[in-house]
Amino acid sequence: MNDPMANGARAAARRLASQYGPSLADDVEAALHSQNSDRRPDQYADPVAVASLIVSAATLAWTIYNDLKSRASNPSPEYVSRTVITQIRQEHELTDEQRNVITVTVQETLTAPADPPPPLS
């Protein structure tokens, strides 16, 4: 199934695994499967919380991208990143590290291939 948001989240997990550990991919898969939950993490300190941040950022990035694309030309990844960060900051204080995770996630979500490699597990 082609799901750009999930593909982007998985790509971001692969890109950030060296920084957050090899279990990040599994944590992102778990977060993807539970993304319909109404519960949101209060902070992003451990790999599971980083995985939740990745999935939240990928979901929001894809929503924002499609909304902006329907109203104008293709928005840049930088513009989408700033918009995602601004929206998440309305509910959470973000560290520089978390902003980096969001930026990487947005970049990967907007450039994820249609047929990505299978999920890491």
Q: Is 21 left (phi over 0), alpha (psi -120 to 50) or beta?
A: left
What is the domain range of residue 104? 4-111
Are 28 and 116 in contact by the 8 Å Cβ rule? The answer is: no
Total residue count of the chain as it appears in this document: 121
* pLDDT exceeds cutoff 60 at 43: no
Mean confidence (pLDDT) of the chain: 84
Whether 89 maps to a domain, the answer reads yes
Q: What is the pLDDT of residues 62-100, one digit of tens each?
A: 999 999 988 877 889 999 999 999 999 999 899 999 999
Q: Alpha-carbon distance 14 to 107, whole Å?
A: 13
Res 13: pLDDT: 93
Res 108: pLDDT: 93
Whether 118 maps to a domain, the answer reads no
Q: What single letter denotes the amino acid at residue 76?
A: S
Whether 24 maps to a domain, the answer reads yes
